[in-house]
Amino acid sequence: MKVLLIGGGGREHALAWKLRQSPELDVLYCAPGNAGIFKAAEAAPFDVSDHRLILKFCKEAAIDLVIIGPEAPLVAGLADTLRESGVAVFGPSAAASRLEASKSFTKAICAEENIPTADFRHFTDKEQALGYVRKQGRPLVVKADGLAAGKGVAVCETVEEAAAAVAACLGGSFGESGASVVIEERLLGEEASFFALCDGHRAIPLATARDYKRAFDGDKGPNTGGMGAISPAPIASAALADRVMRQIVTPAVDAMQERGMPFQGVLYAGVMITAEGPKLIEFNVRFGDPECQVLMLRLKSDLLPVLAAAAAGDLSRCRLAWSEETALTVVMAAKGYPGDYSKGSVIRNVAAAGNVEGVTVFHAGTALDAKGELIAQGGRVLNICATGGSISEARSRAYRAINEIEWPEGFYRTDIGLFSKGDAA
Mean pLDDT by groups of 10 residues along the chain of 425 residues: 98 98 98 96 94 97 98 96 98 97 92 93 87 86 80 84 87 78 90 96 96 94 93 93 97 97 97 95 95 98 98 96 98 97 97 98 97 97 98 97 98 88 39
Residues 217 and 287 in one domain: yes
Residues 219 and 258 in one domain: yes
The one-letter amino acid code at 329 reads T
Residues 225 and 318 in one domain: yes
- Report the CATH number at residue 81: 3.40.50.20
**Number of structural domains in the chain:** 4
Asked if residue 109 belongs to a domain, the reply is no
Asked if residue 241 belongs to a domain, the reply is yes
Residues 279 and 252 in one domain: yes
| 3-class secondary-structure state, position 261 | coil
* Domain limit, last residue, from 170, 185, 200: 185
Asked if residue 386 belongs to a domain, the reply is yes
Residues 180 and 198 in one domain: no
Other beta carbons within 10 Å of 155: 23
Other beta carbons within 10 Å of 158: 12
Asked if residue 114 belongs to a domain, the reply is no
At residue 221, φ and ψ (nearest 5 deg) are 90, -175
Residues 196 and 138 in one domain: no
- Report the CATH number at residue 409: 3.90.600.10
Cα distances (Å, whole numbers) of residue 128 to 102, 125, 165, 166, 304: 20, 5, 14, 10, 49
Asked if residue 424 belongs to a domain, the reply is no
Asked if residue 103 belongs to a domain, the reply is no
Residues 20 and 139 in one domain: no
Residues 16 and 90 in one domain: yes
CA dihedral angle for residue 186, residue 189, residue 195, residue 201, rounded to 10 degrees: -70
* Domain limit, last residue, from 133, 167, 185: 185
Instruction: Check: CB of residue 350 under 8 Å from CB of residue 382.
Output: yes
* 306 vs 65: CA distance, rounded Å: 12
Mind listing the pLDDT tens digit for each residue in 167-219? 888 888 787 777 888 899 899 999 999 999 999 999 999 999 999 999 999 99
Cα distances (Å, whole numbers) of residue 227 to 51, 154, 204, 266: 31, 16, 27, 21
Residues 13 and 136 in one domain: no
Asked if residue 112 belongs to a domain, the reply is no
Q: List the domain range (segments joined by +) for residue 149.
A: 120-185
Residues 264 and 362 in one domain: no
The one-letter amino acid code at 22 reads S
Measured in whole angstroms, the distance separating CA 289 from the mean position of its chain's CA atoms is 4
- For the entire predicted model, the pTM comes to 0.92
Report the candidate in 376, 359, 357 with the shortest Cα–Cα distance to residue 367.
376
Mind listing the pLDDT tens digit for each residue in 45-80? 889 999 999 999 999 999 999 999 999 999 999 999
Residues 148 and 242 in one domain: no
Residues 194 and 310 in one domain: yes
* 143 vs 151: CA distance, rounded Å: 9
- Report the CATH number at residue 173: 3.30.1490.20
Asked if residue 297 belongs to a domain, the reply is yes
* Domain limit, last residue, from 307, 322, 337: 322
